[in-house]
């Protein structure tokens, strides 16, 4: 499992959650992104929210990650929260895009 996620996540122990002494295969931020995407895809419809919603959801993640890289240390709760927001909203856009693509494809097939 760790090998599967290693190309997309640094998997640093201090930036990851542990359950019963075992480190999750992704960091806290990636955990939030995946969990947010799972929740978002379960409530998604065929329309995407306004673009400003995507920016509002992704900006905290970029700000937290960027400032952590430069001059401060974040914490796992903040990483999880920013990942949840970004993953949730991103999944709404992905679902809406797939919905539109599928409808366009079906219209071409019908004639």
> What are the tens digits of pLDDT across the range 54-110?
999 999 999 999 999 899 999 999 999 999 999 999 999 999 999 988 888 767 777
Candidates 41, 1, 42, 24; CA nearest to 79 is: 24
Q: Residue 81: inside a domain, yes or no? A: yes
What pLDDT, on the 0 to 100 scale, is given for residue 55?
A: 96
The model's pTM is: 0.85
Q: Residue 90: inside a domain, yes or no? A: yes
Q: Residue 78: inside a domain, yes or no? A: yes
Range of the domain at 55: 29-110
d(CA 44, CA 33): 16
Q: Is a pLDDT exceeding 90 seen at residue 28?
A: yes
94-36-40 Cα angle (round to 5): 50
Task: Place 13 in a pLDDT band, splitting at 50, 70 and 90.
Answer: very high
Q: Residue 2: inside a domain, yes or no? A: no
Q: How many folded domains does the chain comprise?
A: 1
What pLDDT, on the 0 to 100 scale, is given for residue 5?
A: 80
Q: Is a pLDDT exceeding 90 seen at residue 2?
A: no
Q: Residue 66: inside a domain, yes or no? A: yes
Q: Residue 60: inside a domain, yes or no? A: yes
Q: Residue 5 — φ and ψ, nearest 5°?
A: -90, -10
What pLDDT, on the 0 to 100 scale, is given for residue 111?
A: 58
Q: Residue 3: inside a domain, yes or no? A: no
Q: Residue 17: inside a domain, yes or no? A: no
């Amino acid at each position: 499992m760790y090998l599967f996620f290693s190309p997309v996540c640094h998997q640093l122990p201090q930036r990851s959650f542990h359950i019963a002494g075992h480190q999750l295969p992704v960091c806290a931020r990636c955990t939030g992104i995946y969990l947010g995407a799972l929740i978002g895809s379960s409530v998604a419809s065929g329309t995407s929210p306004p673009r400003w919603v995507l920016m509002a959801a992704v900006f905290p993640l970029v700000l937290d990650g960027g400032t952590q890289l430069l001059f401060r240390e974040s914490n796992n709760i903040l990483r999880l929260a920013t990942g949840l927001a970004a993953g949730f909203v991103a999944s709404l856009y992905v679902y809406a895009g797939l919905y539109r693509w599928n409808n366009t494809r079906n219209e071409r097939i019908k004639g």
